[in-house]
Structure 1
Amino acid sequence: MKIILSTLNSRFTHSAIGLRYIYANMQELQSDTTILEFSINDAIQTIAEKLLHNAPDVIGLGVYIWNASHIRELIHILKKVSPQTIVVLGGPEVTYLPFRVNYDDADYIIQGEGDLAFYNLCKNIISKTPQERISRMSLPNLKEIKLPYKYYTDDDIKNRYIYVEISRGCPFECEFCLSSMDEKVRAFNLDEVLNEFEILWQRGARNFKFVDRTFNLNMKSANKILDFFLAKEPPYFAHFEVIPDHFPASLREKIQRFPHGALQLEIGIQTLNLEIANNISRQLKLDKIKENIKFLENETTAHIHLDLIVGLPGESLESFGANLDELMQMSSCEIQIGILKKLSGTHITRHDITHGMVYSDIPPYDILKNSNLSFEDIQIMKRFSRFWDLFYNSGNFKSSLHLLWDEESEKPQVFKNFYAFGLWIYEKTDSTWKISLQRQGELLFDYLSGVKKLEAEIIADKMLSDMMKLKGRAIPSYLKPYAVNFQLNAKLGTSGFNKRQNI
């Protein structure tokens, strides 16, 4: 029997840890099994051609929110061209009902963790044992699962992030998250995992992305993992998803020792409004969160990534804006603004009637409107999120962008001012994509000078300071009239324009 394990990653630099878990546990069928990965940017018919090239008997496909529609089209082509090929689906998108993408052409669906289940299904197919089309799996014992890490190829190690984990599950019950559906947090044998990490390191792996939902939940495990990296010579990169209110002294001491660029922490804030947080069963310890973000900001070199969500049940635009303003006062780090999604199986559905929640049934199942936010409000906030990434999270305008709001104010109105800037950008461009860095700079300069009525010399000084941090970057044409003063001030070791200079 020929078996192919495949999925469509969201980008080339990503890799599918799930496929490698299944491959690692294929036992005597492993020699008949091949992993083929693609990305959502690849042509579907080309993917089908490559999958069918060696006439496989079974194709297993991982279905995720980013590839759900692509997988549906892929199955359609596979079954049209090769109806005898058995197609098996697994992954988050087919684990919970309702299926909002039609997968009727698939032969079998495995719901839940398929590390061991896919092998058992293939054995039943070989022996012609009757099998239900949809199988709901119980949670496997993680200590009985063979680890996947040896099946990352040298090409993966060279060109892609290496996804790893030390646990599965989440103890919290946030209603918008699939992880809240897990019964409990389960841990792998940490010594075995660390041995595998060491082998990966010796093979040249330097980009480790942990998929654990709550990395800093178990201090013993977290400290051992951090010690693993601290014992290594940089450069390397380790990404962890952490809860914001649990940074005891032992963890703090280790985080402080990481060199610049080595550590990235993703922190799911989602909302700072206690009423909204309680409404979606999310625990918030605001004092601890503020204390820990201040520590990470001021006493470590870790790259911090904070998350906020637009569209939570009961949250108004004003409340969201207050969240953003407060986060900006806490930290200068990256703030990712996401739009609420309704994932099948999550308890967020209980708010549909009370708060008038209306979602798209097309992936990524994002909110379209609710009682607090109109469809137009949501559209504006989607563009706000995109422009926030371009201008703020990119770091390209770190100093100059702050001219949008009054930083001398006790409470700078970041949201209000960036919201107005976003409306103006869209009016000028009618687009959120394919806006070059040159064009972004021109838009910011024009807005600050024309709408905010700031002095051109002050704007230019900030923008040149931002742009010329990268050596060799050409001065854009709209800033050239101000470049002489900037360069002179740089030589003199001063900042700002001296208006009495007649240069």
Structure 2
Amino acid sequence: MRSLIVIPRFYNVFGANYDFPVGLGYILASLKTAGHETFVLNLNQDPAPVAELVEQALLEYRPAALLTGGLSPHFPRIKPILETARRISPSVTTICGGGIITAEPELMMEHLPLDVGVIGEGEATVAELAAALDSGSPLSGVDGVIYRDDSGKPVRSAARAAIKDIDAIPMPDYASLDLPAYFKSQAQNDGLIFNYTEQPRMVPLVGSRSCPYKCTFCFHPLGHKYRQRSIDSLMAESTLLVEQYGANFLMIQDELFSTRTNKERLVEFCDRVRSLGVKWGTSLRADSVDRDILAMCKASGCVFLSYGVESASNEILRSLKKKTTIEEIENALEATYDSKICLVGNIIFGDRRETPQTIQESVDWWLSHRKYLLRVSYIAPYPGSELYRHALQTGVIPDKAWLIPQYHSMRLNMTGMAHDEFFGLADKWAAHSYREVLIPAEITHVEETGNDPVKGPLHTLEAVCPHCGGHPAWTRLNQPWFSISFGHLTMACRECGQKFHTLPLPQELAIQQLLDRLDGKPFAVLHQEQEFNFPAKISTRLMRAATAVVSETPDTQVPPYLAERGHGRFTAAEALAGMDVRDVALPLENGVEPALPVIRRLSSLGLRVHPLICFPESRHAMATIKKAYGEARLAQARRYLAVARKQFPISEEMDLLSVRLGDAARAEQGYRDMTARWPEYDAGYLALARLFMAQGRLEEADRLLRLALVRLPGNQALAGLARETLAAQGAGRPAAVQAGAA
């Protein structure tokens, strides 16, 4: 059978690193091994609209079947693929698999334009399914599928038994998946696992399937039977990836790579992977490691381990069916930290037995172990999990279909607490985890050294690790897109593996430039009681270099983050003259205007004020810029926009503001970037066309709208603007209008 496998678009911004499609890689290899002609469309490698790319592939390859898949949160990324296939080639059989189908087969058949769903492991199923479709055999004879009968009603076939020998499954077809192109999407600051190599080439591997445990929040899309690949099989694939493709980081993405009853497997892997000379990471249970095991892991190249922490309350751990204790977890985390391996884990609030007391128990433990920088979030009842069934039974989820739009960001109260009480506590500590639980490194040097056409400016960064005192350095750090949401970056020390914080790289650069200008002269920092105050909390270099910290209320108590940097008390501004201090650095979160009275008072004392605009979040930046624009303070608005663009390089709102502020050239580039990043939305095309029209560039507007209407056929806003272009030209019928009419 002639098939087309479509890999959903997983990235948020074109060029960003995304989850490598290992599962679809296995499906691809299985179909090819069975002799079926199979093509691949990876939607992550081209920024054109999804519908346009799928249509082109369908017309080029003329497949009999289109296959795609993913997990439940990928619903909005999978649906447009299937809709386009149904619209362009109604005769093509649409097939979808993965956790999204396995968790809720009938629900997905109802809400996706789907002919066949693959339930559970798909390798053997798709090979048999392709043969049945080829021969016209009834699909009832293919185990592990859900399909539509003659009336269109979804019908399940018999369940498929788990694959016993997973060594026998063909390894993913890395050549067809274009692994080298995937490597190009990776940069040094795309996540903790990328911090360890100058040119990261990370590839995920699967070393086992399912999990022997039954945690209430987990769903095992590959079945309930835990199976492990032999180390021979795993090493054969690892060797291929290193020798043929140049991989330098192996991320074993198992639910559980090794168990406490089979530690020999982990020992053997450590013994053998060492010869490849690569870094690696995986997920382990806290009760399956000890200091000897961790020493072997470290010696073999392990730099990253993920643990399921979840709660510091043994009562909640029992309710979650974790079958571990906080004492075991604490021992594992301490041993991993001492072994100089980066560790990650989550505290998740919201189990059905959660109370204010158990939340506080977890918070107290978390705050006393802040050196691990564990993340705090909500528990999510993913489809297929025990908690999901509980939430349906209790009415927390009123209807299965109601939850579909929330798959990617579930925020539900399954506790016995009132909503206000639960969300008040959970929101408070989730925010506290990134505003207050900070471990800043001392930055000794930062420099912008180049530019990547996709990743943007690249930086050299040198630091002193707050954990080990080492001096890690990086030469190709990018400003990652996900820093749009936060006012700081989390990085891992290359020497001890532990996590610390820096300011966004443009802010670190601005601080260094200020220190260079001052050239060793004594200066003070004005401390203000602000919501975030990240520069004072994070910039160890700025605060240690300061001679004094000025406060408008000098008799108040100094916060711990200042005391730790040698500032035991505040200084009144009037006292600076006697300290031979003439310069004051002023970190600002919301622009200059709110601080003008303070700036005027400091200036009246003969002090030189150096504002450092450091927006803690993109929403603060936008609010400040819009306020300045609304009050006709255009020069300030432009300055704020220039600062914000460096810190938050991907922002549609900032592109739009560029036009309002009269920066037409920057706005045009911004709109062109927007159409490249979000080609499936009309906002960029409309804005750029209006800009062309305002500048009298009517032919360019017409060409742009023609292209846009090919990509977004039937879009009324684009067609309406095309008609305006026609009226402005005064004669003729531009092709854009013809396309719109068609």
Q: TM-score, normalised by structure 2?
A: 0.53
Query: Is contact 1:243-1:267 (8 Å) kept?
Result: yes
Q: Which residue is 1:273 aligned to?
A: 313
CA–CA separation in structure 1 for the residues paired with 2:315 and 2:565:
45
CA–CA separation in structure 2 for the residues paired with 1:103 and 1:464:
50
Within the candidate set 49, 72, 75, 2:79 is matched to 72
Q: Which residue is 1:241 aligned to?
A: 283
Using the TM superposition, give the Cα deviation of residue 450 of structure 1 relative to its aligned residue in structure 2, in angstroms: 2.0
CA–CA separation in structure 2 for the residues paired with 1:496 and 1:365:
42
Does 1:49 find its partner at 2:55?
A: yes
1:64-463 correspondence runs (5 A): 64-97=71-104, 100-101=107-108, 102-132=110-140, 133=147, 134-135=156-157, 136-141=159-164, 142-148=166-172, 150-151=174-175, 153-159=179-185, 161-179=202-220, 182-202=223-243, 203-217=245-259, 218-233=262-277, 236-257=278-299, 263-297=303-337, 299-349=338-388, 351-352=390-391, 357-358=396-397, 361-362=403-404, 363-364=407-408, 366-376=410-420, 387=431, 390-391=434-435, 397=440, 434=485, 449-450=528-529, 463=538
Q: Which residue is 2:39 aligned to?
A: 34
CA RMSD between the two structures: 3.9
Within the candidate set 530, 537, 547, 1:485 is matched to 547
Using the TM superposition, give the Cα deviation of residue 434 of structure 1 relative to its aligned residue in structure 2, in angstroms: 4.7
Query: Is contact 1:270-1:307 (8 Å) kept?
Result: yes
Q: Secondary structure at the match of 1:269?
A: coil
Query: Is contact 1:158-1:205 (8 Å) kept?
Result: no
CA–CA separation in structure 1 for the residues paired with 2:35 and 2:434:
45
Using the TM superposition, give the Cα deviation of residue 214 of structure 1 relative to its aligned residue in structure 2, in angstroms: 1.6
Query: Is contact 1:258-1:301 (8 Å) kept?
Result: no
Query: Is contact 1:170-1:180 (8 Å) kept?
Result: no
Using the TM superposition, give the Cα deviation of residue 228 of structure 1 relative to its aligned residue in structure 2, in angstroms: 3.5
CA–CA separation in structure 1 for the residues paired with 2:535 and 2:118:
58
Say which is worse superposed, 275-284 or 33-42, in terms of deviation. 33-42
Query: Is contact 2:211-2:256 (8 Å) kept?
Result: yes
Query: Is contact 2:274-2:299 (8 Å) kept?
Result: yes
Q: Secondary structure at the match of 1:332?
A: helix
Judging changes above 3 Å, is the alpha-carbon distance between structure 1 residues 370 and 189 closer, same or farther for their aligned structure 2 residues? Answer: closer
Using the TM superposition, give the Cα deviation of residue 256 of structure 1 relative to its aligned residue in structure 2, in angstroms: 4.2
Judging changes above 3 Å, is the alpha-carbon distance between structure 1 residues 45 and 385 closer, same or farther for their aligned structure 2 residues? Answer: farther
Using the TM superposition, give the Cα deviation of residue 61 of structure 1 relative to its aligned residue in structure 2, in angstroms: 0.7
Deviations 1:111-131 (A, max 9, x none): 000012111101111111111
Amino acid at match of 1:194: M
- Structure 2 segments unaligned to the other structure (5+ residues): 12-16, 141-146, 148-155, 187-201, 443-482, 489-502, 509-524, 550-563, 572-577, 582-742
CA–CA separation in structure 1 for the residues paired with 2:10 and 2:387:
25
Amino acid at match of 2:339: T
Q: Which residue is 1:425 aligned to?
A: none
CA–CA separation in structure 2 for the residues paired with 1:318 and 1:451:
30
Using the TM superposition, give the Cα deviation of residue 283 of structure 1 relative to its aligned residue in structure 2, in angstroms: 1.0
CA–CA separation in structure 2 for the residues paired with 1:337 and 1:100:
31
Q: Secondary structure at the match of 1:231?
A: helix
Quote the sequence identity (%).
Answer: 15
Using the TM superposition, give the Cα deviation of residue 164 of structure 1 relative to its aligned residue in structure 2, in angstroms: 0.5
Amino acid at match of 2:252: F
Query: Is contact 1:258-1:302 (8 Å) kept?
Result: no
CA–CA separation in structure 2 for the residues paired with 1:502 and 1:144:
76
Q: Secondary structure at the match of 1:95?
A: helix
Judging changes above 3 Å, is the alpha-carbon distance between structure 1 residues 72 and 353 closer, same or farther for their aligned structure 2 residues? Answer: closer
CA–CA separation in structure 1 for the residues paired with 2:67 and 2:433:
35
Does 1:6 find its partner at 2:11?
A: no
- Structure 1 segments unaligned to the other structure (5+ residues): 400-431, 469-474, 488-493
Using the TM superposition, give the Cα deviation of residue 252 of structure 1 relative to its aligned residue in structure 2, in angstroms: 2.4
Amino acid at match of 2:334: K
Amino acid at match of 1:252: L
Q: Secondary structure at the match of 1:116?
A: helix
Does 1:464 find its partner at 2:539?
A: yes
Using the TM superposition, give the Cα deviation of residue 24 of structure 1 relative to its aligned residue in structure 2, in angstroms: 1.7
Deviations 1:308-347 (A, max 9, x none): 2121112134422421331332351231233222222222
Q: Which residue is 1:491 aligned to?
A: none
Judging changes above 3 Å, is the alpha-carbon distance between structure 1 residues 150 and 434 closer, same or farther for their aligned structure 2 residues? Answer: closer
Does 1:496 find its partner at 2:566?
A: yes
Q: Secondary structure at the match of 2:268?
A: helix
Q: Which residue is 2:632 aligned to?
A: none
Using the TM superposition, give the Cα deviation of residue 371 of structure 1 relative to its aligned residue in structure 2, in angstroms: 4.2
Amino acid at match of 1:275: E
CA–CA separation in structure 1 for the residues paired with 2:53 and 2:567:
58
CA–CA separation in structure 1 for the residues paired with 2:418 and 2:527:
29
Query: Is contact 1:342-1:367 (8 Å) kept?
Result: no
CA–CA separation in structure 1 for the residues paired with 2:57 and 2:160:
26
Amino acid at match of 2:88: V
Query: Is contact 1:311-1:373 (8 Å) kept?
Result: no
Larger radius of gyration between Structure 1 and Structure 2: 2
Using the TM superposition, give the Cα deviation of residue 171 of structure 1 relative to its aligned residue in structure 2, in angstroms: 1.1
Using the TM superposition, give the Cα deviation of residue 373 of structure 1 relative to its aligned residue in structure 2, in angstroms: 4.4
CA–CA separation in structure 2 for the residues paired with 1:191 and 1:463:
46
CA–CA separation in structure 1 for the residues paired with 2:206 and 2:286:
19
Judging changes above 3 Å, is the alpha-carbon distance between structure 1 residues 378 and 208 closer, same or farther for their aligned structure 2 residues? Answer: farther
Query: Is contact 2:98-2:221 (8 Å) kept?
Result: no
Q: Which residue is 2:22 aligned to?
A: 17
Q: Which residue is 1:404 aligned to?
A: none
Q: Secondary structure at the match of 2:236?
A: helix
CA–CA separation in structure 2 for the residues paired with 1:306 and 1:114:
30
Using the TM superposition, give the Cα deviation of residue 180 of structure 1 relative to its aligned residue in structure 2, in angstroms: 9.2
CA–CA separation in structure 1 for the residues paired with 2:172 and 2:392:
43
Deviations 1:67-116 (A, max 9, x none): 11221233122202211111101000101336555445211111000012
Query: Is contact 1:173-1:181 (8 Å) kept?
Result: no
CA–CA separation in structure 1 for the residues paired with 2:103 and 2:303:
34
Q: TM-score, normalised by structure 1?
A: 0.75
